[in-house]
């Protein structure tokens, strides 16, 4: 292609091609940038799945919650496991419509990416107008939706998106010693909702478990270790 020069030439500059080495570095830097979860990522043929079983006392049948995860940046320093979708199955058809709606909304939030841990607080804040229930172990659940939120929280802790607040070995040993002091007074029960803690224990405001007892004149939770005396 030719171009007609109509003005007087007053100077010139030779444009140099970018060195191959610099091009290679730029391409490597772009390739090293980790892929973040976003809605444009297509569903792969294989996902890592975990299924959790819950048996709320308000229902006749158990519910099975399956959370599938996608593995991003596999075999790199930025490898991460992110939740991708959730399914809830049960023999009971009582909650079919809202369960399907809930799973679709949660799955959409998962695929959107970003910080999805806010879902746990939102779900666990849902209260049943008819009152909640105590699940096996004496843990209070304000609603069935809240227990689904507790399962999602458990899963997010397992894959490292939420920091686990597990007790130290020393604290566990101390609580085990305190619990042993009450074992003689406990009566065996076949009730699935029965607590493994003393029958006269009260509800803990921190972990929602009926495990608070008076120890040396101080209210202490045998589940999480919370104490009014510090």
**Contact yes or no for 161/174 (Cβ under 8 A):** no
DSSP percent split of the chain into helix, strand, coil, nearest 5 = 30, 20, 50
What's the Rg (C-alpha) of the chain? 28
Position 119 scores a pLDDT of 95
Hey, how many other C-beta atoms are within 10 angstroms of the C-beta on 60? 11
DSSP 3-state assignment of 48?
strand
- In tens, the pLDDT along 23-71 reads 666 566 555 688 889 989 999 999 999 999 999 888 888 999 999 999 9
Q: Which of the four pLDDT bands, split at 50, 70 and 90, describes residue 21?
A: low
- Give CA–CA dist 106/123, Å, rounded: 10
Is the pLDDT higher at 118 or at 175?
118
- In tens, the pLDDT along 64-92 reads 999 999 999 988 888 999 999 999 999 88
- In tens, the pLDDT along 98-108 reads 999 999 999 99
- In tens, the pLDDT along 187-201 reads 555 554 455 777 778
Position 13 scores a pLDDT of 76
Position 182 scores a pLDDT of 55
Average of per-residue pLDDT across 153-162: 93
- In tens, the pLDDT along 129-155 reads 888 898 887 888 999 999 999 999 999
Position 142 scores a pLDDT of 92
């Amino acid at each position: 292609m030719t171009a007609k020069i109509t003005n007087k030439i007053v100077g010139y500059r030779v444009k140099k091609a970018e060195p191959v080495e610099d091009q290679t570095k730029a391409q490597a830097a772009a390739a090293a940038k980790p892929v973040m979860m976003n809605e444009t990522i297509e569903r792969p043929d294989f996902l890592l799945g975990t299924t959790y079983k819950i048996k709320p006392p308000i229902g006749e049948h158990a519910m099975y919650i399956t959370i599938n995860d996608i593995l991003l940046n596999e075999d790199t320093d930025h490898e991460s496991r992110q939740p991708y979708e959730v399914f809830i199955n049960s023999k009971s058809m009582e909650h079919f419509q809202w369960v399907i709606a809930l799973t679709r909304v949660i799955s959409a939030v998962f695929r959107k990416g970003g910080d999805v841990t806010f879902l746990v607080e939102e779900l666990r804040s849902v209260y049943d107008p008819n009152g909640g229930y105590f699940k096996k172990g004496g843990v209070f659940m304000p609603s069935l939706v809240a227990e689904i939120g507790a399962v999602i929280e458990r899963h997010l802790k397992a894959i490292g998106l939420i920091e686990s607040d597990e007790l130290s070995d020393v604290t566990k040993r101390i609580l085990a010693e305190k619990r042993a002091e009450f074992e003689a007074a406990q009566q065996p029960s076949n009730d699935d909702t029965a607590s493994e803690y003393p029958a006269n224990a009260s509800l803990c405001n921190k972990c929602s478990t009926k495990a608070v007892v008076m120890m040396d004149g101080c209210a202490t939770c045998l589940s999480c270790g919370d104490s009014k005396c510090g």
